[in-house]
């Protein structure tokens, strides 16, 4: 955390001392949102990931870079649609020039933005930018707590109609002498058996469907769309994210998410709620050199859950808080990140359709959120 703070402090001094004065001289005084956008673009360096289009049809690289910067601006300004972004670009000359267009007539039309967005989603542009940003920021550093959770993402598309799978009738009675009946492995068991990260991700369901969960009041709520699974470091910094079908259980994404995060940062504790209380997840966390802090699922071990509650009450009576409880309370960090993503960075209103485009939309928001949270740490 100290190394991250030093890196961000140096970046912030450069932005304040050199970049802001130069831009202010060119464009005039910047608003708070314009300063936030300039800082975000300077930190993430999205232009480094736009491939050269020389010799290929279509708009030049300069336009693709400007459109990519504009999609980041869309999240910083929390614009619900591309049309709303274009309207803002038409009236805000400073924003237009920050993105890379000198004149109002230089800004491409909505159709060009749509084609560029499809290209960005196919090439996973924001995912690659975010991965590089995290690795660069945390290089040589150590993360204390990695908090894991998921959140519902409502989509404007029809859910996939599930076809009932034909069940093979199990043979009754005891097996014959020498006969071995092999029980098929679950998805988590297959992941824990040595699968590579790419195979794990390919095996996760990605179609739009219906998800159901209990809300904070204990009532069941359903939604049509997807589920975003996210790892968050101390300070509310998103480390990695995976988008699956809404009906996918959280535990089925824990192992690939843990491996993805371990390739980007080094952390000590994995903090998760009772949905991740699975033996294979404990084992994977320890294999990665982490300490798993997972709430007990009463469905799996009611006696242990009751014993822990009784111990917690005794600690409250004498005014004592265990180290595990203090560390587990860090899990609220990921809940705040999910709330900010939805309320401030475009995660609540998703107009695009299809897994790749929905993930691209969310990752542009996560990019802006990550840069914003990092600046909060040093300002």
Whether 359 maps to a domain, the answer reads no
Q: Which of 158, 127, 343 is nearest to 242 (CA)?
A: 127
Contact between 368 and 237 (Cβ < 8 Å)? no
Whether 135 maps to a domain, the answer reads no
Q: Based on the fold, state whether residues 203 and 94 are members of the same structural domain.
A: no
Q: Based on the fold, state whether residues 234 and 290 are members of the same structural domain.
A: yes
1 — pLDDT class (breaks 50, 70, 90): low
Report pLDDT digits (tens) over 124-159: 999 999 999 999 999 888 899 999 999 999 999 999
Whether 174 maps to a domain, the answer reads no
Whether 361 maps to a domain, the answer reads no
Domains of the chain: total:
2
Contact between 130 and 265 (Cβ < 8 Å)? no
Q: Based on the fold, state whether residues 309 and 222 are members of the same structural domain.
A: yes
Q: Which pLDDT belongs to residue 321?
A: 65
Q: Rounded CA gap, 225 and 160, in Å?
A: 10
Whether 316 maps to a domain, the answer reads yes
Q: Based on the fold, state whether residues 42 and 103 are members of the same structural domain.
A: yes
52 — pLDDT class (breaks 50, 70, 90): low
Report pLDDT digits (tens) over 240-249: 999 999 999 9
Q: What's the average model confidence in pLDDT over 333-362? A: 95
Per-residue CA distances from 118 to 20, 113, 355 (Å): 33, 9, 12
Q: What's the average model confidence in pLDDT over 167-190? A: 75
218 — pLDDT class (breaks 50, 70, 90): confident
Q: Rounded CA gap, 139 and 131, in Å?
A: 12
Residue 73 predicted with pLDDT over 60: yes
Whether 360 maps to a domain, the answer reads no
Q: Based on the fold, state whether residues 291 and 198 are members of the same structural domain.
A: yes
56 — pLDDT class (breaks 50, 70, 90): very low
Q: In this prediction, what percent of the chain has a pLDDT beyond 90?
A: 61
Q: Based on the fold, state whether residues 44 and 120 are members of the same structural domain.
A: yes
Q: Rounded CA gap, 75 and 224, in Å?
A: 23
Whether 181 maps to a domain, the answer reads no
Q: Based on the fold, state whether residues 26 and 154 are members of the same structural domain.
A: no
Q: Based on the fold, state whether residues 221 and 344 are members of the same structural domain.
A: yes
Structural domain range at position 92? 2-128
Whether 357 maps to a domain, the answer reads no
- What sections of the chain are H helices per DSSP? 2-14, 20-27, 32-44, 61-76, 82-91, 93-99, 110-122, 125-138, 187-192, 197-203, 251-262, 279-287, 302-318, 323-328, 332-344, 355-378
Q: Based on the fold, state whether residues 193 and 258 are members of the same structural domain.
A: yes
Q: Based on the fold, state whether residues 12 and 69 are members of the same structural domain.
A: yes
Residue 74 or 63, more confident: 74
């Amino acid at each position: 955390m100290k190394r991250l703070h030093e890196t961000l402090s140096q970046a912030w001094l450069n932005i304040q001392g050199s970049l802001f004065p130069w831009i202010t001289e060119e464009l005039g005084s910047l608003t708070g949102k314009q300063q936030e956008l300039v800082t975000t673009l300077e930190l993430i360096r999205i232009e480094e990931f736009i491939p050269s289009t020389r010799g290929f049809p279509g708009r030049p690289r300069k336009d693709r870079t400007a459109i990519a910067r504009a999609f980041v601006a869309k999240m910083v300004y929390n614009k619900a649609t591309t049309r709303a972004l274009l309207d803002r670009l038409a009236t805000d000359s400073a924003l237009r020039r920050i993105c890379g267009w000198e004149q109002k007539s230089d800004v491409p039309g909505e159709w060009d933005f749509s084609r560029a967005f499809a290209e960005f989603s196919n090439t996973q542009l924001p995912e690659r930018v975010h991965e590089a940003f995290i690795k660069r920021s945390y290089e040589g550093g150590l993360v204390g707590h990695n908090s894991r959770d998921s959140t519902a993402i409502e989509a404007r598309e029809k859910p996939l109609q599930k076809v009932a799978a034909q069940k093979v009738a199990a043979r009754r009675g005891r097996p014959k002498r020498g006969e071995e009946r092999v029980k098929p492995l679950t998805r988590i068991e297959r992941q824990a058996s040595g699968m590579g990260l790419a195979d794990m991700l390919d095996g996760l369901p990605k179609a739009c469907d219906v998800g159901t969960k209990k809300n904070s009041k204990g009532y069941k709520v359903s939604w049509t769309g997807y589920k975003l699974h996210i790892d968050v470091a101390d300070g509310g910094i998103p480390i990695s994210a995976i988008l699956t079908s809404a009906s996918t259980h959280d535990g089925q994404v824990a192992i690939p998410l843990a491996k993805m995060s371990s390739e980007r940062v080094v952390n000590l504790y994995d903090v998760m709620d009772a949905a991740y209380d699975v033996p294979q997840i404990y084992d994977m966390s320890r294999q990665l050199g982490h300490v798993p802090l997972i709430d007990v699922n009463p469905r799996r071990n009611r006696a242990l859950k009751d014993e822990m509650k009784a111990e917690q009450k005794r600690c409250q009576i004498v005014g004592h808080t265990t180290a595990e409880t203090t560390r587990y309370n860090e899990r609220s960090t990921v809940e705040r990140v999910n709330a900010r993503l939805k309320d401030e960075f475009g995660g609540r209103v998703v107009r695009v359709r299809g897994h790749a485009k929905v993930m691209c939309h969310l990752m542009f928001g996560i990019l802006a959120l990550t840069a914003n949270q990092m600046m909060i740490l040093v300002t």
